[in-house]
């Protein structure tokens, strides 16, 4: 009987709203959907400015609604989709309106940066389950987001590979106390390098990640190790941990995606080849696992795994993020805003690699600290931090 009931449950097609469908996470989400049309249907697609790809995706996947943030691209999208019956929205301010639509069951939160916060909160408020790739949402306002999810009975399932790994290790362990979690870090493209080398690195080099192919912002965050700091803060909120329970180890092969150590000292790890489609698919199908044809790991071909502590003297952004996590309040929000601007400045070749650290550090010491911010105050802190960081960059 039980089996029948759960089979019936999974025979319904899950409607996915993909926020950020033209990005790295968004495109891979569509790949998973295309491979499992019996399980998933994309009913919302949103894009910031890549209208050509949005149109292409809409014609292929026939969602109920699409949104293009860049209003100057709206007429083109509307015209291209005129005969399809797909609703076309325009402007970043309508993201929340689209997130409130009832034509989807699960949000793939694949927008990058602070911009993902409002639509994700609206998805939660309107009862959608959240597959969370957008880590900045929890870095900025983790307490508000988790509280709202609790109040609305909504589950937040991580897509970030490390958090998916921890989530998978915790299945069936609800009764058991976690001693610590260990997030693995690849070390990024500049592993082993020192400041005298980093001072001259350029965008083209920093953007090349050794193990993952990702969007520009997270690639830079990975090269500075700030990404791992954001992930520590993300883990704190997702799993209800204290900062002292969260550790980072550099594991260059990216085969172990993260680990949980329980109160008896036993450590569970989740492993696999680095491929974001796996955590994407897991979040979408949870609690079920579904078959796929992704390449499998072969123990006889890659036999080495190493682990070492991160070099926080060189990669100071990680130390700054850990400091922000311990400080709490609006400090992670300030760190995030300063970093978004710094990364933007670096990607535009306006500042050097090491200047990013300087900008984050100075902004953290300049913007007023608030111990228990309201959502409104998080928005204000983000604005104040951006404003100050902008004065340090010739944008
Ligand atoms: P990306 O830059 O490739 O894509 C970002 C998407 O967000 C695009 O669809 C873009 O149109 C949209 N977008 C950008 N700015 C926007 C704005 N201001 N308003 C509305 N939409 C906007 O980024 P990505 O690599 O896919 O990463 C997305 C998120 O997932 C990030 O938070 C990142 O940290 C997280 N993440 C990504 C990966 C990965 O492998 N790419 C892995 C783990 C976590
Ligand atoms: Mg990650």
pLDDT of residue 4: 41
- Does residue 215 line the site of ligand 1, with CB under 6 A? yes
User: Which residue CA neighbors atom 43 of ligand 1 most closely?
Assistant: 160
- Kindly state whether residue 234 falls inside one of the protein's structural domains: yes
Residue 365, domain member (yes or no): yes
Q: Give the pair of three-digit tokens for residue 79.
A: 């015209």
pLDDT in tens, 27-51: 999 999 999 999 999 999 999 999 9
**Domain residues for 379?**
328-395
Q: Atom 32 (ligand 1): residue with closest C-alpha?
A: 134
Q: Looking at the domain assignment, is residue 88 inside a domain?
A: yes
262 and 166 in a common domain: yes
In a domain, 245, yes or no: yes
Q: How many CB atoms lie within 10 A of CB 295?
A: 8
- Centre of ligand 1 to C-alpha 113, Å, is 7
Q: Are the C-beta atoms of 185 and 228 separated by less than 8 Å?
A: yes
Considering its fold, how many domains does the chain have in total? 3
pLDDT in tens, 318-373: 999 999 999 999 999 999 999 999 999 999 999 999 999 999 999 999 999 999 99
Domain end, chosen from 159, 188, 217, is at 159
Residue 221 Cα: closest atom of ligand 1: 34
Q: Please indicate, yes or no, whether residues 138 and 188 belong to a single structural domain of this protein.
A: no
Residues 271 and 369 in one domain: no
Shared domain for 191 and 254, answered yes or no, is yes
Q: What is the pTM of this model?
A: 0.96
Q: What is the pLDDT of residue 395?
A: 73
250 and 110 assigned to the same domain: no
Q: State whether 247 and 194 are in the same domain.
A: yes
Residue 162 beta carbon below 6 angstroms from any ligand 1 atom: no
Parts of the chain with a pLDDT under 50: 1-10
Q: Do residues 311 and 192 share a domain?
A: yes
Q: Indicate if 310 and 339 belong to the same structural domain.
A: no
Verify that 87 and 180 share a domain, yes or no.
no
Name the residue among 45, 72, 217 with its Cα closest to residue 139.
217
Atom of ligand 1 nearest to the CA of 25: 26
- Report residues near ion ligand 2: CB below 5 Å: 160-162
Separation in Å, CA 291 to CA 141, 170, 243 = 35, 21, 36
User: Does 223 lie in the same domain as 265?
Assistant: yes
């Amino acid at each position: 009987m039980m089996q029948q009931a759960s089979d019936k449950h999974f025979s319904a097609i899950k409607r996915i709203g993909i926020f950020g469908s033209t990005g790295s996470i968004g495109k891979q989400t569509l790949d998973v959907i295309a491979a499992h049309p019996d399980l998933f249907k994309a009913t919302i697609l949103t894009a910031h400015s890549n209208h050509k790809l949005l149109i292409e995706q809409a014609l292929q996947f026939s969602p109920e609604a699409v949104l293009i943030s860049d209003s100057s691209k709206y007429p083109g999208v509307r015209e291209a989709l005129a005969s399809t019956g797909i609703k076309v929205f325009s402007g970043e301010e309508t993201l929340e309106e689209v997130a409130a639509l009832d034509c989807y069951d699960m949000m793939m939160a694949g927008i990058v940066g602070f911009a993902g916060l409002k639509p994700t909160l609206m998805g939660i408020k309107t009862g959608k389950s959240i597959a969370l790739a957008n880590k900045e949402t929890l870095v900025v306002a983790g307490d508000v987001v988790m509280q709202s999810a609790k109040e609305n009975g909504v589950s937040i399932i991580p897509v970030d590979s490390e958090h998916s790994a921890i989530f998978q290790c915790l299945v069936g362990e609800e009764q058991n106390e976690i001693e610590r979690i260990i997030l693995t870090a690849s070390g990024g493209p500049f592993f082993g390098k020192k400041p005298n080398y980093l001072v001259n690195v350029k965008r083209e080099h920093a953007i090349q990640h050794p193990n993952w192919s990702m969007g520009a912002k997270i690639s830079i965050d990975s090269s500075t190790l700030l990404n791992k700091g954001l992930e520590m803060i993300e883990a704190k909120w997702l799993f209800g941990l204290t900062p002292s329970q969260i550790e980072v180890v550099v594991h260059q092969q990216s085969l172990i995606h993260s680990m949980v150590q329980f109160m008896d000292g036993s450590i569970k790890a989740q492993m696999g080849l680095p491929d974001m489609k796996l955590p994407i698919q897991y979040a979408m199908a949870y609690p079920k696992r579904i078959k796929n044809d992704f390449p499998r790991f072969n123990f006889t071909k890659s036999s080495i795994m190493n682990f070492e502590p991160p070099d926080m003297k060189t990669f100071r952004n990680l130390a700054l993020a850990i400091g922000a996590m311990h400080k709490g309040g609006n400090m992670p929000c300030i760190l995030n805003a300063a970093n978004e601007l710094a990364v933007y400045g670096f990607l535009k070749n306006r500042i050097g690699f090491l200047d990013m650290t300087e900008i984050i550090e100075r902004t953290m010491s300049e913007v007023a600290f608030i111990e228990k911010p309201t959502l409104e105050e998080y928005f204000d802190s983000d604005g104040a931090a951006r404003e100050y960081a902008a004065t340090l960059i010739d944008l």
